[in-house]
Each structure stands twice: as C-alpha cells, then as structure tokens.
Amino acid sequence: MTIAALIYPIANIPLTILIPYTIGFLVLLIGSYTDIKTREVPDWVNIGLIGVGFGINLIFSVIYSNINFIVSSIIGFAIFFALAWFMFYFGQWGGGDSKMIMGLGALIGIDIFSKSLTLISILQFFIAAFLVNAMLVGALYGILWSIFMIFRNLKKFIKEFKKSIKNKKTVLVKRIVFVLFMLLILSAIFIPDKYIKLMLFYLAVVLILTFYLWITIKAVENACMLKYVKPQKLTEGDWIAKDVKVNGKFITGPKDLGIEKKNIKKLIEFYKRGKIKKILIKEGIPFVPSFFVAYIVTLIYGNLVFLII
C-alpha cells in the first residue's frame, strides 16, 4: 500500500470531524500519561479541553453559518456533565476523570439535528458508542488494575483480607449469606422444574462470589489505595479518607468529595503550626487510560456491544 493510499481516506474526512477527533486523541494521550505518572490530570489539560471544545464548535458555527455545531457542543457537555457528576458523587471517578469526560462531550458534541445516514451522521453517534465502550473497557481495566495492585502489595492485601473477613460486621453478613445460600441450594434440589433449578443454583453461586468480591475490594482499598501524605503533597480533588479536625472543628473529610484548594491552604498552615501531621487519602484508580483505550476502540470498531452481537 502506498503512502498516498494511506493518506487519501484521512484527506477526505471533513475538518469538522478530523480536527475534534484528533484533539480528543492527543488530549487523552497526554491525560493518560499524567494520570499514570502523578495520579492526576492537570487542570490546564481538562479545562483547556472544555474551552477548546466550545471554541472550535463556535468557530465551525460561524464559518459554516450553522448553529448546530455549538448547540451540539453544549448538549454534549450538559449530558456528560450530568454523567460525570453522578460518577464523581458516588466515588467512581475522580475530579480529573470527570472533567475529561465533560471536555470530550463539549469537543465532539451530540448532534440531535442530523437525519441523513452519511459518514458524518454515523460518526456523530461516536460519543454514544464511546460512552458504552468506556463502561466496558473501564470495568475490565478496573479488574486488571486491582489484580496488579494485589500482587504489588500481596502481603498487605492478605493481611487486610484476613482482617476484613474476621470483622464482626463481616462475620454477621457472612452468616446471612450462608443461610441464603443454603436456602437457594435446598430449593434447587427439591424444585422439579429444570429452568428454575438452574436459576437457583446460579443465584446461589453469584451470592457467594459477590460476598467474597466485596471483601476483596475492601481489602484492596485498605491495603493498596490508602496512604498518609503531608498537606503540601495534596492536590485539589484528592479524596480525604478520614475526617480532619483541629480543636474539634471539622476541616475536611470524605463527605467533601475531593478537597478544595482553600482547605489545602488551611491544612498547610495547621501543619506548620504543628496542629496536624499527615493526612490519610484514598488513591483512586487512574481511569483516564481506560478512556483513551475506549476512544481508540471506538474509532476502530465502533460500539463494542453491536460488534459482540
């Protein structure tokens, strides 16, 4: 295949698609590197992506006298803002992950006006396919990262797992799970219908696996993701794992959903005055690399669900 043959398909992609998708690729590449190296994505990357997303689509709207570009950008940002807030609030994504997703929504947008089935209209479904792929890739990525962390901190993990399994609350849950397991198994034995019998056996196995998966996740979190740092090492958005109080006054804690700059300054001052020492934080899984993989997968294969089906 000649160089011309390779360039031809790219040269024929409209700039309204080529530019945003290329920027998205480059920003995700940079974000993945910083997320793995420092466990954070700089604000200039995320906020810059949001600004560029709106800016480029505004320029396209002016050049082509078509308001759809900027409207699609706003819609994409709004939908991904809602998703990012939900994932951030429930502790699944960090602040950098959430801002990155919002930036992609603003950059690529969601066009609700297109009715044709051209290359452009097909690619405009990219953001929906990317979202589905990000969930699938993210789940696999999270499992693999957890396994990596377990082997990296094997002794601490085993210690935490044994500690968790002996916890009074865990023992109580274990007994309840065992009783439910036996009820499902006995019901499966005495019920004649083969389909129901199979479903009950399946539920019994899932129940046991879910219980031990819960213990494993808890042990991974305590053994591999919690660490003490000086206030000077904190960055905006870090998850504080334990309430910090000075003279009985609450400063910051897990309920803040990520520490703010003003509270970091307070903690640094208290540290200098000897009123606090190190702060316990929770290091989340760097999810931006999973977004990057999902982005590439979507460019090449489209929606993985449709591919599997």
Among the listed residues 288, 285, 294, the one whose alpha carbon sits nearest the alpha carbon of residue 28 = 288
Q: Specify the pTM.
A: 0.69
Q: Please give the pLDDT value at position 306.
A: 67
Q: Please give the pLDDT value at position 309.
A: 55
Q: Please give the pLDDT value at position 17.
A: 82
Distance of CA 259 to the CA centre of its chain: 18
Q: Please give the pLDDT value at position 257.
A: 63
- Any idea what DSSP says for residue 93? S
Residues 6 or more apart in contact with residue 231 via CB below 8 angstroms = 264, 267, 268, 270, 271, 276, 279
Per-residue pLDDT of the chain (309 residues; tens, 9 = 90+): 444 444 444 556 778 788 899 999 999 999 999 888 877 788 888 889 999 999 999 999 999 999 989 999 999 899 889 888 887 776 667 777 888 889 999 998 877 665 554 444 444 467 778 888 888 888 788 888 888 888 888 888 898 888 888 888 888 888 998 999 999 888 888 888 787 888 888 888 888 888 888 888 788 877 887 888 888 888 777 778 888 888 888 888 877 767 778 888 888 988 888 888 888 887 777 888 989 999 998 888 877 766 665
Please give the angle made by the CA atoms of 71, 74 and 100, to the nearest 5 degrees: 145
Cα distance between residue 111 and residue 103, in whole Å: 16
